[in-house]
Amino acid sequence: MKVFMNFAKGFINTGKTTRMVLLLFVVNLFFSIILALPMYHSLKDSFGSSKVGDRMAEGFDYLWWQEFRDESQGLERTFSPSILGKGAILNNLEGLIQMRFFRLPLPVLIMGLLYIILHTFLAGGILFTFNQDTLKFKMKKFFNGSGTYFFRFLLLLLISSVILFTLVAILDYGFNLIMDNVQKDSLSEITPFYYNLGFSMIIFFLLLFFQMVFDYARIKIVLEDRRDVLKTVFQAFGFVFRRPFSTLGLYYLIFLIQVAITIGYIFLKESIPQSDWPFVLVAFFIQQLFIFLIIWLRCLLYSSQMELYRYLK
């Protein structure tokens, strides 16, 4: 009951801040364009006047891609069949679970780091907006809130990164030792597959759990103007462990909504032929609508968690 009540409050509050969600969407779109333009020019130069572009519009030209991959440097090396359609979502999820982003080209890593820092900055404005007595989005107040909490949120990001990477490294080392023994005794690939699947699920749960805990640390900083960041982290862990059903229930409710929207997006986008430009525009619109909804859900999560924290405090 607590979960659904505070979810409803968060839903109403997020509905009052559609302009804020639109701002976040525009920022995200602008950042994406910065990465997309160099890739666009590289692909255009590679296609030239050949029929590769037509074949790529109808499917995927693997012969061209193998040659393009061998000659590529930097950002262009990330272009592969797995970044198209539903493969992009699955590829990003697998890369996150297996911590493969360190293998990305340096320019992509730098842009990714800047993207994370930018969202750390914007998170302050989001929570500051939801903390107002009269909920109304104003650009000036939003960026004032972003600046006010940025360095404390940045320190939270560093602490969470150290804790998570250390824990994942320890688990990965132990898992590799277990897998060495399993592969020696296994007569097929089925058993190692299930072990890998189980380990991936554990890592994914930890990623979500730590994100939730540090969300509450950010909320405590904003609501209570906390300046002792490390102490706030321990208190956020305490808050979650004392109320696991409410905190996890709310978090996974919104997570499941996001999963449902993602599955719906995949099926809808895959059903649209993209060989003609009108269909390409429709597919692009659906993709941007999906991104807007994901940003909206992130704001809903912040708003609902803030309401839950106030209720349970």
Q: Are 120 and 150 in contact (CB under 8 A)?
A: yes
Q: 117-136 pLDDT, tens per residue?
A: 999 999 999 999 999 888 88
**Average pLDDT value for residue range 188-194:** 70
CA-wise closest residue to 272 among 290, 258, 255? 290
In angstroms, the CA 33 to CA 241 distance is: 41
pLDDT band at 172 (very low <50, low <70, confident <90, very high): confident
CA 242 to chain centre: 27
The pLDDT tens digits for 215-248 are: 999 999 999 999 999 999 999 999 999 999 999 9
Kindly report the pTM of this predicted structure. Answer: 0.82
List the structure tokens of 289: 């609508």
**pLDDT-based confidence at residue 71 (cuts at 50, 70, 90):** low
Burial environment of residue 178 by CB neighbours within 10 A (0 to 12, 13 to 18, 19 or more)? exposed
* Mean pLDDT value across the chain: 81
pLDDT at 101: 57
Q: Tell me, what's the pLDDT at 156?
A: 95
Q: 126-163 b/e with 16+ CB inside 10 Å = b?
A: bbbbbeeeeeebeeeebbebbebbbebbbbbbebbeee
Calculate the CA 132 to chain-centre distance: 26
Q: What is the mean pLDDT of residues 97-102?
A: 55
pLDDT score for 63:
62
Q: In the predicted model, is pLDDT for residue 170 greater than 80?
A: yes
**What percentage of residues in the chain have a pLDDT greater than 70?**
73
Model confidence at 80, pLDDT cuts 50, 70, 90, reads low
* pLDDT value for 165: 83
Rounded to an integer, the average pLDDT of 248-269 is 90
Q: What is the pLDDT of residue 177?
A: 78
At 5-22, the pLDDT tens digits run 999 999 999 999 999 999
Output the pLDDT for position 202: 83
Q: Which residue has the higher pLDDT, 256 or 203?
A: 256
Q: Give dist(CA 49, CA 262) in Å, integer.
A: 36
pLDDT for the residue numbered 286: 86
Q: What is the 3-state secondary structure (H, E, C) of 109-152?
A: HHHHHHHHHHHHHHHHHHHHHHCCCCCCCCHHHHHHHHHHHHHH
- The pLDDT confidence band at residue 55, using thresholds 50, 70 and 90, is low
